[in-house]
Structure 1
Amino acid sequence: MPSNESKPTLTVVGAGLVGSLLSLYLARRGHTVEVLERRPDMRRETLDAGRSINLAISTRGLHALRQVGLEEEALKHAIPMRGRAIHPVQGALAYQPYGKDDSQHINSLSRGWLNRFLMTQAEETGRVRIRFRQRVTHADTAAGTLTVVDEATGETRQVRDTVVFGTDGSGSAVRQEFQTHPDFHVTQETLGHGYKELTIPPGEGGRFQMEKHALHIWPRGTFMLIALPNEDGSFTCTLFLPWEGPVSFASLQTPQALEAFFQEQFPDARALIPNLVEEFFSRPTGHMVTVKCAPWRVGGRTLLLGDAAHAVVPFYGQGMNCGFEDCVVLDSLLESRPDWEEAFAAFEGLRKTNADAIADMAVENFIEMRDSTADPRFLLEKGVEKVLLNAFPGEFVSRYTLVSFSRVPYRLAYQVGTIAGGIVTELAQGLKRPEDVDLDAAARLIRGRLTPFMKEHADGFRAEG
């Protein structure tokens, strides 16, 4: 534990998912934590929409909750999604399992429920105080000093001599203050697509109107619709469209244009969305951004975590999982490092390359989801991949399996995925059916290419943190 005998109050900026969980981890270490949140208390007021309603929590996120005894309760509110259900414009649905069997699945979970739950759990430690409507207007990142405006009263105050954790999202006010340092650099790439959330309500008696245990995708090349199940039998649909162009948010300016678009591209979904026009034109259109920056820390006084350090687009379902893993890794480092500065430096050394890797994979997965999932060749290769996962357990692994169902560092998952993907493509050449894959040839390729890489990086395959 850091050697701060007087244990100053720690300040977490942002009471979102990562900030709330981090404050819980810090409180468990005996620290007093003040959390500053710009928004009102979402447990008492309904906040404007703007963030995605659903999360896909998987192994990394669940592990983080398990460390503080919260996994079991979270899973009571989650719906397992065992694969993708692909909806073509016409014809039968196709199903793509996520893993080798149903035990490997991701989970649909309400963002709002989880955030409220984590805030309450943090407060119940007796060591965490969350203050709402608190806006950070300036941070001296080297001194641990914050200027904070109470938006309820208009009063300005100074928070001094604290250790600051910036968990205030992709538009982080704390990160903005890093830009005064000459060695700091940041890139922010906004995706050329936005998103709009719509609702498929439950059927009679709260029944699900589509397959409950699947993430539904309507891939259409340059755009797509997805749907995730909710506890009440509804589905949250998210429409991803380019901002500009012949098929874009700019082209859907009237109810008539919207209706014609849905009838042409998503006729089965349209039949299940009764309030399409009202929801489309009343709900905000979200932006998606990738943020890469360095450094994430200033001495032992200020540290960025979660989206503030490494925002990613949502197409691998890993933004929250990655942020939660930040908490696990930092907590393990605080166990053994003698001071904050050393722990922060080690944390960035472990996490930066992994954050960059999942950011790149998330953008690549967007292309796969909106386009490749409808391609017969892609479906064949996914079938071959599943055959290999079952025929060579422990020897053959896929990128998706490592990202979603293990805690292997993201950078290694990326590299393994490149090797495994090449093997699958080679074996799928000339095949009509996945089950016809040549397993002898597969064994030679796996043991000649993948096994040596995994042996070389054996230490990395022991989960970090």
Structure 2
Amino acid sequence: CIYSVGRNYLNGLLLKESEKYDNVQKFFNYKLIQTNLKNGSLTFTNTATRETVEVNADLIIGADGAFSAVRKEMMKQPLFNFSQEYIEHGYLELCIPPGSDDGFQMPPNYLHIWPRGQFMMIALPNQDCSWTVTLFMPFKNFKNINSEEVLIDFFEKYFPDSIPLIGKKKLIEDFFAGSPSPLVSVKVSKNRTVSENAAHAVVPFYGQGMNAGFEDCTLLDQLFKKHNDHLASILEEFSTMRWRDTFAISDLAMYNYIEMRDLVNRPSYKLRKALDDFLFWLMPDTWVPLYNSVTFTSMPYNQCVKNRTWQNKVLTVVILFVCLLVFLFLIYTRK
């Protein structure tokens, strides 16, 4: 199954778990302002006291987000390849509150999606029986919704069933309380010491951003054991192994947005999904659909893409063969 977990809740769990390890130290309210990769020094400022602190490290791993300060310093080094791409769509979060009975207003064991071609809305359940609703849409569409009347007209046209769930008053309050946030994708090729969003920030449409970060940690842990803590060997193999997978999930996440907001409504998509599901049922060890392999297995992301490629080739050959048989049959019956 797929778990919907709040980021703050998960952060709390990880912080609590880290307390079990005496060799883990945590420092809060510090911002990295300068890095010297040659001598391993880092300069931080305390955001509360404005105090400046300099520390030295044998190994620096930049896991400091999509706008990584460590990566920014690494970009000054030769042969460091980096790309950043914003999509033309942003997102805005709304909320479906609990029902009058303090329960869920929709079946909670599902990801609810309203696909509308060029935009979409999704809803994920929370533990308090509310729903986090996210509207993904081109920025120009957000800009056009400039009054309460335009907003209600828009929702009555495209998401009419959501209005009684959210409530008109709450919809207006939530929508105009903030502004749409951008979505960015980051790719770093063959890096040695950046991980997670600093190395591979992805758009959220496959729900794999955090999982990809956890995979970084799992792989590093395996390599530490394999190479007996020899850092040069660990980082070299990590760099060689990981970048293709992070590129793959970045591209998959971009594509899945098109699938979620548009393709799911097309008969060709529904036919392909039914065929994938049937072949998976028939040959579960041989034919694993793309979504299943990405979401429910530990198969490397790049291998998931390769599997999809050969599956497409097989289906293309089968379809051409069937068409040929039909063509020959029609010719034969006309004689």
Would the TM-score normalized by the shorter structure come out above 0.5?
A: yes
Q: 1:116 aligns with which of 6, 9, 12?
A: 12
Partner SS for 1:212: coil
Structure 1 partner of 2:195? 305
Q: What is the Cα deviation at residue 384 of structure 1?
A: 1.6
Distance in 2 (CA, whole Å) between partners of 1:312 and 1:390 is 31
User: Sequence identity of aligned pairs in percent?
Assistant: 40
1:202 maps to 2:93: no
| Unpaired segments ≥5 residues, structure 1 | 1-104, 298-302, 432-465
Structure 1 stretches of 4+ with a deviation exceeding 4 A read 422-429
Distance in 2 (CA, whole Å) between partners of 1:389 and 1:348 is 33
Larger Rg: 2
Distance in 2 (CA, whole Å) between partners of 1:424 and 1:221 is 26
Structure 2 partner of 1:419? 310
Q: Is the 8 A contact 2:277 2:289 kept in 1?
A: no
Partner SS for 1:208: coil
Distance in 2 (CA, whole Å) between partners of 1:346 and 1:152 is 39
Q: Is the 8 A contact 1:380 1:428 kept in 2?
A: no
CA-based RMSD of the aligned residues comes to: 1.8
**How do 1:129-140 and structure 2 match up within 5 A?**
129-140=25-36
Q: 2:187 aligns with which of 281, 288, 292?
A: 292
Distance in 2 (CA, whole Å) between partners of 1:267 and 1:377 is 27
| Unpaired segments ≥5 residues, structure 2 | 323-335
Distance in 2 (CA, whole Å) between partners of 1:423 and 1:232 is 46
Judging by fraction of residues, say which structure has more helix: 2
Distance in 1 (CA, whole Å) between partners of 2:100 and 2:11 is 29
Partner SS for 2:4: strand
Partner SS for 1:183: coil
Q: What is the Cα deviation at residue 284 of structure 1?
A: 4.2
Q: May I ask how many residue pairs the two structures share in their alignment?
A: 318
Distance in 2 (CA, whole Å) between partners of 1:400 and 1:421 is 14
User: Which amino acid is 2:157 matched to?
Assistant: E
Structure 1 partner of 2:147? 254
User: Which amino acid is 1:372 matched to?
Assistant: L
1:267 maps to 2:152: no
Q: Which moved more, 1:117-126 or 1:151-160?
A: 117-126
Distance in 2 (CA, whole Å) between partners of 1:284 and 1:427 is 49
1:406 maps to 2:297: yes
Q: Is the 8 A contact 1:198 1:236 kept in 2?
A: yes
Q: 1:366 aligns with which of 246, 257, 263?
A: 257
Q: 2:111 aligns with which of 215, 229, 247?
A: 215
Q: Is the 8 A contact 1:306 1:322 kept in 2?
A: yes
User: Which amino acid is 2:15 matched to?
Assistant: M
Distance in 1 (CA, whole Å) between partners of 2:129 and 2:276 is 32
1:345 maps to 2:241: no
1:146 maps to 2:16: no
Structure 1 partner of 2:219? 329
Q: What is the Cα deviation at residue 365 of structure 1?
A: 0.7
Partner SS for 1:287: strand
Distance in 1 (CA, whole Å) between partners of 2:287 and 2:226 is 35
Structure 2 partner of 1:60? none
Q: What is the Cα deviation at residue 424 of structure 1?
A: 4.9
Distance in 1 (CA, whole Å) between partners of 2:301 and 2:57 is 35
Q: What is the Cα deviation at residue 276 of structure 1?
A: 0.8
TM-score (norm 2): 0.90
Structure 2 partner of 1:43? none
Distance in 2 (CA, whole Å) between partners of 1:393 and 1:261 is 43
Q: Is the 8 A contact 1:381 1:428 kept in 2?
A: no
Q: What is the Cα deviation at residue 425 of structure 1?
A: 6.5
Distance in 1 (CA, whole Å) between partners of 2:203 and 2:313 is 25
Distance in 2 (CA, whole Å) between partners of 1:399 and 1:120 is 35
Q: What is the Cα deviation at residue 161 of structure 1?
A: 3.3
Structure 1 partner of 2:138? 242
Distance in 2 (CA, whole Å) between partners of 1:342 and 1:373 is 45
TM-aligned CA distance change 1:142 to 1:205, over 3 Å: farther
Structure 2 partner of 1:73? none
Q: 2:123 aligns with which of 216, 227, 245?
A: 227
